[in-house]
Structure 1
Amino acid sequence: MIKLAIIGASYLQLPLVHKAKEMGIETHCFAWKDGAVCADFSDFFYPISILDKEGILEKCREIGIDGITTIATDMAVTTISFVAESLGLISNSYKSALMSTDKLAMRKAFKMGECSIPKFVEVTDGAYCIGDFLFPLIIKPSDRSGSRGVTKVDIEEQISLAINSAMEESFSKKVIIEEYIDGTEVSVETISWHGEHKILAITDKVTTGAPHFVELAHHQPSSLSTSVLNRIQEETIKCLNALDIKFGASHAEFKITSKGEVFAIEVGARMGGDFIGSTLVQLSTGYDYLKSTIDISLGNYQSPNIRSKGYAGVYFLSEETKSLLPYFRQLNDFDYQKEILNEDLKYIKNSNDRSGYLIYYSDKKVNLL
């Protein structure tokens, strides 16, 4: 039987486990025991930290895995590349993985690749030089996702507190300051095989706005103009090449100004979370993104046949979106999947603060906010 190592075992990886088992593949999940919901569904579970590259490599060598992958988490990316390189399996290079999981290294690579990015500077030992940067600014940890530690500052007096907040969230204790780009937010899902990249879907994003910019909703397909979408696709390919991403799923994020300028914010060498990769892409395009991610890790690939299938999206429940509660509690003709996880709604600072989700599928965009 084909054996697949899955790095991470939280609810984020559960769709991947289910898809692999549906494909008749033996699943081996690695993660901390706390929150490892996949432990009850995978064929084998190993309570090894996803950051323990050597420990996971040793176990994977013992198992004789045929492939290794994850979805929706940046923290697993370097371990996957380390193990795959060591065992001669399909993955992006370890060097590429390091660039795609460190926002500072990523921005340096983007700059070398002539990608369109905001001005940025590294905070070193609490010191920084913003020179001719224009306020407002964004301050963020170099190595976190899910809006953790991200703050918008409008005046210099706010910078120190924002740096401290970002530093607390950062594993590496590295922080970036960059100019804030005012505009629309989108994300892009792609699949790559030997450096050939295919754009699968562009997703419109709704966030809380300043200061933390946590996602409240996602919609596919994007409603932006064709000319802007073309520029986004061009920048996406440049960013993937700059990071030397050659295999598997990727999730890129961009800001679009009122003038139609496209700025790359970041790229992850894994499919997007928030149900974007695991659910919305297949609903809106008919393309089985999960299966393709698994196939590529096993050395198999078929070029995507993307077709417009419908409109799909997800809304998240919080104090900011409490007006959605009636839609959560009633039957709607656009319902695909929904769940209230916590009746105690609160204002959110990161994605973990959200209290539920509603995924829709329809023949038109569903506007609820």
Structure 2
Amino acid sequence: MKRLLVLGGSRQAAEGLKRLKALGFELVVCDMDKEAPGFEFTTHRILASVYHADQCIPAVLEFHAHTPIDGVMCLACDVPHIVARIAEKLGLPGIPVTSADLTVNKLSMKDRFTESGVPVPPYRAIGSLDDLKAAAADWGRLVIKPTDSRGSKGVSLMDEQGDLAWAYDYALTNSPGGQVMAEKYLSGPQVSTESIVIGGEAITPAMSDRSYEFLDRYAPFIVENGGDMPSSLPDAMKAEIADLVSKGAQALGIDRGIVKGDIVVHEGRAYIIELAARLSGGYFCTHQIPLSTGIDLVEASARTALGEALNPLDWREKYHRPVTTRWLIPECGTIKSFASATDVMASPGVLAFDSWCEIGDEIGGAMNAAASVAMVQATGNDRRQAIENAERALDAFALKVDCV
């Protein structure tokens, strides 16, 4: 039995860990939370923060000294650079540390893409408010973000008339390394992709149309409230995106493992916003992708991490089932009441539901990806019905918030 280390045991990782256990892997889960839901499915526990290399790596090395690990991956957490360092230190399969580091620094990533001829939105480093004002003058509408944050923390959408001083400070405050960048906002459909890279080629069974229907309501924050699979883009554009993801992975020096893409299609051309060397969070890899396509990229990631050779034909979508994800993002205030999960699951077409709020919780409003309090996934006879079923299910949750 292969012993697999998984960094991350959160609620969003639990279903993936459950499936890995069912596949017969001996799991070692690392998480700082003693009550992490993922620990239910593991044989061994390592209590350490996966986001702090100085805590995680020594704890893993100590464990490995008496219980050898055969492979390492992360799940529902953005730590490919730490995964790569563990793999390097233990002599395990993995991507180069230099490649992993590129994927957790948005500015370095885009520099590499530009050098390699991979299309990205126009961008630049921002070292001062004057730099940001100059970018706004050149581009009009632009996205300001930390170079090294995650979960859309510190990200805002502005134009010349917006509060650029606030946007600069907001990004800078949320950057661990104290670096800010800006990129020109490109209008058009945005797509989430998830791929398994085999022999330098990215196989992309998953493309989800990202929902930003409340972009104006949440402004200046950019908060996604769900996604729809399969993508409604034309087949030719889907093929272009798949090719773009492959080129992006190659530019970063990634010839194996998972890559997760954020893509925008602007005026008939696809651009990479970001490409991460990890599985997604947000119940995308654990729920929506297998429900919509029949493909389990969590398993693909595990087998790659253990050095198994994969056949590309095994990881192409088996079917195209309409599956919609919607996140419930309430107004700020105090949660007063909500219905049971049983009530939500009884709603037509519901495939999965989860919530993580309690009566009395204070909600801060939609600032980033952490603003949601519940998630539902639903299907239907077609895309429209799947969306309607998901929205109806969130209505059935009947969340009541006392807004002050």
TM-score (norm 2): 0.83
| Match status 1:313 vs 2:324 | yes
TM-score (norm 1): 0.91
Contact 2:325 2:376 in 1 (8 A): yes
Contact 1:219 1:314 in 2 (8 A): yes
2:227 maps to: 218
C-alpha change, 1:357 and 1:196, in structure 2 (3 Å) is: same
C-alpha change, 1:180 and 1:73, in structure 2 (3 Å) is: same
| Match status 1:9 vs 2:9 | yes
After the TM superposition, which of the residue ranges 31-40 and 273-282 deviates more from structure 2? Answer: 31-40
Paired residues for 1:164-313 under 5 Å? 164-207=169-212, 208-209=214-215, 210-257=219-266, 259-300=267-308, 301-303=310-312, 304-313=315-324
1:126, distance to aligned residue in structure 2 (A): 6.0
1:59 maps to: 62
1:362 maps to: 380
Q: Which runs of 5+ in 1 are unaligned?
A: none
Paired residues for 1:332-347 under 5 Å? 332-342=347-357, 347=365
After the TM superposition, which of the residue ranges 165-174 and 338-347 deviates more from structure 2? Answer: 338-347
Name the CA distance, whole Å, in 2 between partners of 1:134 and 1:334: 43
1:68 maps to: 72
Q: Deviations over 1:275-333 (max 9, x none)?
A: 1111111111111211111111111123224222411121111237xxxx999845233
Contact 2:10 2:36 in 1 (8 A): yes
Contact 1:218 1:276 in 2 (8 A): no
Q: Supply the AA of the counterpart residue of 2:148.
A: D
After the TM superposition, which of the residue ranges 1-10 and 123-132 deviates more from structure 2? Answer: 123-132
CA RMSD of aligned residues (A): 2.3
Name the CA distance, whole Å, in 2 between partners of 1:91 and 1:64: 16
Q: Which runs of 5+ in 2 are unaligned?
A: 332-337, 392-404
C-alpha change, 1:22 and 1:134, in structure 2 (3 Å) is: same
Contact 1:71 1:273 in 2 (8 A): yes
Instruction: Find 2:113's aligned residue among 106, 110, 113.
Output: 110
1:89 maps to: 92
After the TM superposition, which of the residue ranges 261-270 and 53-62 deviates more from structure 2? Answer: 53-62
Which has more helix, going by share of residues? 2
Name the CA distance, whole Å, in 1 between partners of 2:115 and 2:124: 15
SS of the equivalent of 1:114 reads coil
SS of the equivalent of 1:192 reads strand
C-alpha change, 1:353 and 1:298, in structure 2 (3 Å) is: same
Q: Deviations over 1:59-83 (max 9, x none)?
A: 3531210100012322x21111011
Contact 1:138 1:179 in 2 (8 A): yes
SS of the equivalent of 1:367 reads helix
Name the CA distance, whole Å, in 2 between partners of 1:315 and 1:326: 17
Residue identity (%): 23
Q: Supply the AA of the counterpart residue of 2:220.
A: P
Q: Deviations over 1:125-147 (max 9, x none)?
A: 66636466311111011112221
Name the CA distance, whole Å, in 2 between partners of 1:153 and 1:133: 13
C-alpha change, 1:367 and 1:302, in structure 2 (3 Å) is: same
Name the CA distance, whole Å, in 1 between partners of 2:259 and 2:44: 27
Q: Supply the AA of the counterpart residue of 2:205.
A: L
1:37, distance to aligned residue in structure 2 (A): 2.7
SS of the equivalent of 2:225 reads strand
SS of the equivalent of 2:140 reads coil
Name the CA distance, whole Å, in 2 between partners of 1:65 and 1:337: 33
After the TM superposition, which of the residue ranges 213-222 and 25-34 deviates more from structure 2? Answer: 25-34
